[in-house]
A and B are shown apart, each in its own frame.
Chain A
Amino acid sequence: MPLRPFRLAPAALAVLALATLPAGAQPAPQPGGVLRIAIDTDPQCLDPQQAGNNNSLNVGRQITDSLTDQRPDTGALVPWLAASWSVSADNLEFTFQLRDDASFSDGTPVDAAAVKANLEGIVKLGARASLGAGYLAGLREVRIPDSRTVTVAFAAPNIQFLQATSTMSLGLLAPATLARSAEERCQGQLVGSGPFTVARFVHNQQVRLNRRDDYAWPSALARHQGRAHLEGIEYRVIPESGVRTGSLVSRQIDVNASVPPQDERLLLAQQLPVLARANPGLVYSFFPNEADPLLRDPLLRQAIVKAVNRAELQSIISRFQAPASAVLAKTTPLYSDLSALLAHDPDGSRQLLEEAGWRPGQGGIRERDGQRLVIRLSYWQSTPFLELVQQQLRAVGIDLQLNRTTISQVTALRDSGSYQLQFFNLTRADPDILRAVFGSSGRNVNNRAAAPVDALLQASSAELDPTRRRDLVAQAERALIEAGHVIPLVELSTVIATGKNVHGLDYEASSRLQLYDTWLGR
């Protein structure tokens, strides 16, 4: 039978997946079995508190619990190890009341002293805990008035901290683990309070987790109580995408945690469930270096924003991906649709370039004072849509030269400062990522001087009221786009495929996997 190309919207796929279940009733979860998950690269370091790749964060999520959990649909925070919490009126202090039945797998209690030791330990890890230490920037002190109460005090208002407590980067480890060296922890010498424990870690081969039988403190989002359904989880490192897909189809694995766009059609034709979710946080964007003599000019940056035809990009990206509709992805809490600011406007773009003094030159590339309008980008991601962006920019007279290279070359170039554009995305289920990346006192991705937008970014990270904060975030995003500090392109989606026997597999709020409720049908 010839394969006809077909496209399905994600919603239709969800219906498709549900249609295989008996009408009306959800099947009852069956306990037992080992879930075999194929991942594409070695997790390198299993400690969720240390900098890690997506695969190691996925493992870390299963072995550690967090103070809070975050609803993937609304972004609202719900209780987990903390039964309740409050924020002081000045947004400087956060007080958590811990539940009293949780323990680490070595038997020690998850108490206030353990939480304090973890937070202080993450700060001490420094650059090794690049995510967690960033979340805790400005930590003044951690007070523990009694064994169930923890007060975390910051030097400046830091409202993103609440969301950060739901991430595995601030997942809790036993005090005995904190006493170990960073290297030992990386190798899996980790004791957490999660539903699974590390049994074995062989580099480039596998990570084996076993169920913890006395586990009884899942987050408020869990769909069952008590121990996990699965007896164990086996992550297999399978670098070749074709081998991952073939192994899933031939049932040698249960989950392919990294599906590239070219394999999607094959998996759908096999009617295997495909789960996709946009990663919250910054979408794939260009970040201009404003110390560069060309990109210092806001007119040029704005011209690039208008020259990109985002709707057209849909034809190249995965069917589970969407073009950018703001600086933040749709799945980010407090997201606002700003697609009106990102409309394709080639005439407006040409007009801005004329205004900036760029006149049509040879071969359709604009020139000014004999200089051609050439912008160079080095990147390492597998993102073919950039070649379409290149054509779109050429249509208004900008020569975008693409140089795909290795991640090491890109980071070296970034550190040297001699680049014109950066290209990346960044996953974070909190809009504070804007302040951390764009703020002139933060990473200052644009290498720019302090500007009014800094005040907006600062205000959006200090505001506690969600409605007012959403408004501030949207204002900040608007200012960033209008000044051309960012040229949003495409959202990143995580796409996984599972065997038909896998049930209850969900993305958590940061688009990583939560396997506590997962079970295997026979």
Chain B
Amino acid sequence: MPRQTRLPPPGYVARRLGQSALVLWAAFTLAFAILYILPSDPVSIMLNQAEQSLADAAQVAALRAEYNLDQPLVVQYGIALWRALHLDLGRSIQTGQPVAALLAQAIPATATLAAAALALALVGGIGLALAGSLAQAGWLRAALLAAPALGVSLPTFWIGLLLLQALSFHFFLFPAMGNEGWQSLVLPALTLAVPTSAAIAQVLGRSLAAAWGQPFAEAIRAKGVSRPRLLLTHVLPNAAVPLLTMAGIITGNLLAGSVVTETVFSREGVGRLAQGAVAVKDIPVVQGVVLLAAASFVLVNLLVDLLYPLLDPRILQQRQAG
């Protein structure tokens, strides 16, 4: 193959784009189906809230018609899909606000939280894997390598409440709630970073161990290069490519974790929006959040797929050969 064409060919890009659209459509349809399998009616939930409503049946029926909830399932699905294709996500049944506006308001808060958590997770996860890789003492090495498994299995909810008890209620270092200022970001970002950093440490630790065993490492060591230097300049770059594969999973982790984290820390964001909407079966909002989650997942994977050939041309060549 000509070595000068480092950019992925148009066919490859088109195929990836087509697959992404398919994933989005599947997520939309699945969410719609699940929401309709659940036996409940968002309008009566809106009217009932905590107590029972005294509204009469005719008034309720009028309201139901307003949201097309009296139409057959296929028609409702068609209307929702048609609107989604035109980037019209409809209005929340509970609050009447456009779903796009609700999402636009929630996304910055969650993006900030996710970015802070990702930064912490990268530092923590890579640091842990490197430390485990360098540790000489057997017991320390074992402890460092076991830490990620522990981190993955701790419930986010529990970590959040422990941090709150210690650093907010007992010693007032950080506020327990809200979105104001960097102080309010510290505890939720830490909470969200723990499982992500553990996952990063796990994958990186394993591929570091594999890279150490490669002949090139043996050869360089034989030249007298120190272990830490070898690790940073040769082993780490080789072991880091699999981390890129994790980008999609990490995005998913952060989005899923934001539901719990934002609830425990009373923060505004996509997670809280999703949690609230599911609880009251606010179909348009749930659909919007599902689409957003699917879109960010798809986008990250698409970027990774397009980056791969640049980092490692063999990937493209294998595909074309096969």
Whether B41 lies near A415 (C-beta < 8 A) is yes
A45-B55 in contact (CB<8A): no
A250 touches B169 (CB 8 A): yes
Chain B stretch 18-51: residues in CB contact (< 8 A) with chain A: 38-42, 44-51
Q: Do the beta carbons of A187 and B97 come within 8 Å of each other?
A: yes
Chain A hits for B40, CB < 8 A: 406, 408-409, 411-412
- B179 close to chain A: CB less than 8 A: yes
CB within 8 Å of A: which of B228-268?
A: 263-268
B96 touches A408 (CB 8 A): no
A424-439 to B contact mask, C-beta < 8 Å, 1/0: 1111000000001100
Does A205 have its Cβ within 8 Å of any Cβ on chain B?
A: yes
Contacts of A247 in B (CB 8 A): 168-169, 176-177
Instruction: Chain A residues near B281: list those with CB within 8 A.
Output: 408
Please name all residues of chain A whose beta carbon is closer than 8 Å to the beta carbon of B63 when the two chains form the complex.
126-128
Residues of chain B contacted by A240 (CB below 8 angstroms): 161, 263-264, 266
**Chain A residues whose C-beta falls within 8 Å of the C-beta of B161 in the assembled complex:** 240, 242-243
B94 nearest CB neighbor, chain A only:
A44
For residues 203 through 242 of chain B, which have their beta carbon under 8 Å from a beta carbon of chain A? none
Question: Which residues in B have their C-beta under 8 angstroms from that of A126?
Answer: 55, 59, 62-63
- B124 located at the interface, meaning its Cβ lies under 8 Å from any Cβ of chain A in the complex: no
B interface residues, tally (CB under 8 Å):
54
- Residue from A131, A184, A411, A443 in contact with B45 in the complex, judged by beta carbons closer than 8 Å: A411
Point out the residues of chain A lying under 8 angstroms from B269, CB to CB.
Answer: 204
Which residues of A have CB within 8 Å of B264?
A: 240, 243
Interface check B60, CB cutoff 8 A: yes
Q: Contacts of B273 on A, CB cut-off 8 Å? A: 203-204
What residues on B are CB-neighbors of A187 within 8 Å? 95-97
Q: How far is the CA of A426 from the CA of B51 in the complex (A)?
A: 6
CB distance from B306 to the nearest CB of A (A): 35
Q: Mark B55-68, 1 if CB is under 8 A from A, else 0.
A: 11001101100000
| CA–CA, A515 and B62, complex, Å | 37
A373-426 at interface with B (beta carbon < 8 Å): 406-409, 411-415, 424-426
Q: Is the CB of B178 within 8 A of A203?
A: no
- Among the interface residues A45, A242, A249, A407, which one has the most CB atoms of the partner chain B within 10 A? A407
Interface string of B76-102 (1 = CB under 8 A from A): 000000000000000100111100001
Chain A nearest CB: distance from B63 CB in Å?
A: 5
How distant is the Cα of A128 from the Cα of B96 in the complex, in angstroms?
Answer: 12
Q: Most chain-A Cβ atoms within 10 A of its Cβ — which of B39, B41, B263?
A: B39
- Provide the bound-state CA to CA distance between A181 and B95, in Å: 12
Smallest CB separation, A287 vs chain B (Å): 10
Q: Is B302 on the interface with A (CB-CB < 8 A)?
A: no
Least distance between A147 CB and chain B CB atoms (Å): 32
- CB distance A52 to B268 under 8 Å? no
A44 vs B277: C-alpha distance in the bound complex, in angstroms?
Answer: 11
User: Is A360 on the interface with B (CB-CB < 8 A)?
Assistant: no
Task: Report whether B51 and A45 are in contact in the complex, using a CB–CB cutoff of 8 Å.
Answer: no
A409: B residues at CB distance < 8 A: 38-40
Given contacts A243-B177, A246-B169, A252-B168, contact A51 B55 (CB under 8 A): yes
Q: How far is the CA of A413 from the CA of B45 in the complex (A)?
A: 12
Asked whether A290 is an interface residue with its Cβ less than 8 Å from the other chain, the reply is: no
A413 vs B39: C-alpha distance when bound (angstroms): 8
Nearest-CB residue, chain A, relative to B50: A53
Q: With A252-B172, A411-B45 given, name 16 new contacts (CB 8 A).
A: A42-B276, A51-B48, A51-B53, A51-B55, A127-B59, A133-B59, A238-B176, A243-B177, A243-B264, A250-B168, A408-B40, A408-B42, A412-B41, A415-B44, A425-B51, A436-B54
The 9 residue pairs across chains A and B that have the minimum distance between CB atoms:
A183-B96, A408-B40, A127-B59, A134-B54, A130-B55, A130-B53, A246-B169, A53-B49, A127-B55
Task: Offer 5 A-B interface pairs, CB within 8 angstroms, sorted by A.
Answer: A45-B96, A127-B53, A183-B95, A205-B178, A242-B161
